[in-house]
Copies of this chain bind each other. A is one copy, B any other.
Amino acid sequence: MDKALSRLKPRIANRMSDIVPFHVMDVLAKARALEAAGRDIVHMEIGEPDFATPAPVREAAKRATDEGKTHYTPAVGLPALREAISAYYQSDYGVSVAPERIIVTPGASGALLLAMGVLVNPGDQVLMADPGYPCNRHFVRLMEGEAVGIPVGADTAYQLTAEQLVGHWTDKTVATLLATPSNPTGTLVSPSSMHSMLDVVTSHGGRLIVDEIYHGLTYGCQAETALSLSDELFVINSFSKYFSMTGWRLGWLVAPETYVRDVDKLAQNVFLAAPTLSQYAALAAFSPESREIMHGYRDAFEQRRNFLLPALRELGFDISVEPTGAFYLYADCSRFTDDSYTFALDVLEKAGVAITPGKDFGAHQPEHYVRFAYTTSLARLEEGVERLARYLKG
Contact = CB atoms under 8 A, between A and B. Distances in A.
B266 A19 contact: yes
A276 B249 CA distance: 8
Interface string A269-283: 111111111100000
A8 B175 CA distance: 13
A191 to B, nearest CB: 14
Contacts of A207: 11
Given A68-B53, A122-B122, A205-B11, A247 B273 contact: yes
Contact of A70 (B11, B118, B246, B274): B246
A12 B259 contact: yes
Interface residues of A, number: 83
A16 to B, nearest CB: 5
B270 A106 contact: no
A22 B268 contact: yes
A104 interface: no
Contacts of A25: 268
A262 B5 contact: no
Contacts of A20: 265
A316 interface: no
Contact of A249 (B4, B122, B230, B274): B274
Contact of A58 (B65, B110, B244): B65
A8 B10 CA distance: 45
B247 A16 contact: no
Nearest to A108: B272
Interface in A129-181: 134-135, 138-139, 142-144, 174
Interface in A5-57: 5, 8-16, 19-22, 25, 48, 52-53
A387 interface: no
Interface stretch (A195-203, A286-294, A340-348, A350-358): A195-203
Contacts of A134: 269
Interface string A117-132: 1111110100000000
Contacts of A318: none
A245 B276 CA distance: 10
Contacts of A61: 61, 65, 277
Given A65-B58, A119-B11, A120-B13, A247 B205 contact: no
Contacts of A266: 16, 19
Q: Which of A8, A16, A247 has the most CB of B within 10 A?
A: A247
Contact of A271 (B16, B232, B244, B249): B249
A265 B16 contact: yes
Closest 9 CB pairs of A and B: A247-B276, A10-B258, A53-B70, A138-B269, A52-B68, A21-B265, A249-B275, A275-B275, A70-B247
24 contacts: A1-B202, A4-B203, A5-B232, A11-B119, A12-B262, A13-B121, A13-B124, A13-B143, A15-B121, A16-B118, A16-B266, A19-B269, A52-B70, A69-B247, A70-B245, A70-B248, A71-B246, A107-B271, A107-B272, A122-B144, A135-B269, A246-B276, A248-B277, A275-B278
